[in-house]
Structure 1
Amino acid sequence: MNKVIISGRVVRDADVRYSQTANGSMAVARYTLAVDRTFKKEGEQAADFISCIAFGKNGEFAEKYLHQGTKIIIEGRWQTGNYTNKDGRKIYTNDCVVERHEFCESRANQQNNSNGIIGRNSPSADSDSFMSIPDGIDEELPFN
């Protein structure tokens, strides 16, 4: 079985090209998802950057809706390949071939996150991404 499910943010707008097929043209979208790592060692990057490719209707969806910062979940399959570049070197590739996209957040949250704004009714978050606990709530916490 070859099935992957990945959640992350689109690094930059999808690069979409159209290829000619027997039935007309087909959209081929390429984009990269930044996927946060659960654990991070000192000096290592905090995210993995996954190359994704979407064909046909999925490619058209990517062109229309996937912009830098959009948080999505994709379902697809892992594909490896290789080719020889113009210098004669063999290049190996790893891509997630997208079979389905879903948004992870509302458009309002997406716009707030892209602007670095926290929702009006939400508690403030410090720069370290931890939420501040309001004063006087100690007696309501389930632990001490």
Structure 2
Amino acid sequence: MNKVVLIGRLTKDPEVKFTQENRKAVTKITLAVDKYNSKSGQKEADFVPIVVWDKQAESIGNYMKKGSQIAISGRIQTRNYEEKDGTKRYVTEVIASEVQFLSRVNNVNSEDNESK
């Protein structure tokens, strides 16, 4: 079984892109997931890369901002690719199947920020 459930906060504003082939929406986000250090007892965070597709990706792009809290369930996927210099790289990420918005950060519209 390959099942992951995470609750955390977005580390930056999501950016939705569309695939060239079939115009599917996709966003890659990083989720800061709290954990406690067993030695110090202090709260720390793991930073988990998440890939979200289709309508859920569009919803995240439209409604979530840096700091928004979301719950994700999905599966872990490992893939590899080759750099231009021939170096092979491996990436482990969570492919989201379900997304639930837990809290939103109320930011001023980004267009308003740019005009100031």
TM-score (norm 2): 0.80
Q: Summarize the alignment of residues 60-139 of structure 1 with structure 2, pairs less than 5 Å apart.
A: 60-105=58-103, 107=104, 110-111=105-106
CA distance in 2, matches of 1:46, 1:87: 35
CA deviations 1:60-84 (Å, max 9, x no partner) are 1221122100011001111011111
Q: 1:40 touches 1:46 (CA, 8 Å); kept in 2?
A: no
Q: 2:25 touches 2:54 (CA, 8 Å); kept in 1?
A: yes
- In structure 2, the residue matched to 1:126 is none
Alignment length (residue pairs): 106
Structure of greater Rg = 1
Structure 1: which 5+ runs fail to align? Answer: 115-144
Structure 2: which 5+ runs fail to align? Answer: 108-116
Whichever residue aligns with residue 30 of structure 2, its letter is T
SS at match of 1:14: coil
The answer as to 2:39 corresponding to 1:36 is no
Relative to total residues, which structure has the larger strand share, 1 or 2? 2
Shift of residue 41, structure 1, vs aligned partner: 4.2
Aligned-pair identity in percent equals 37
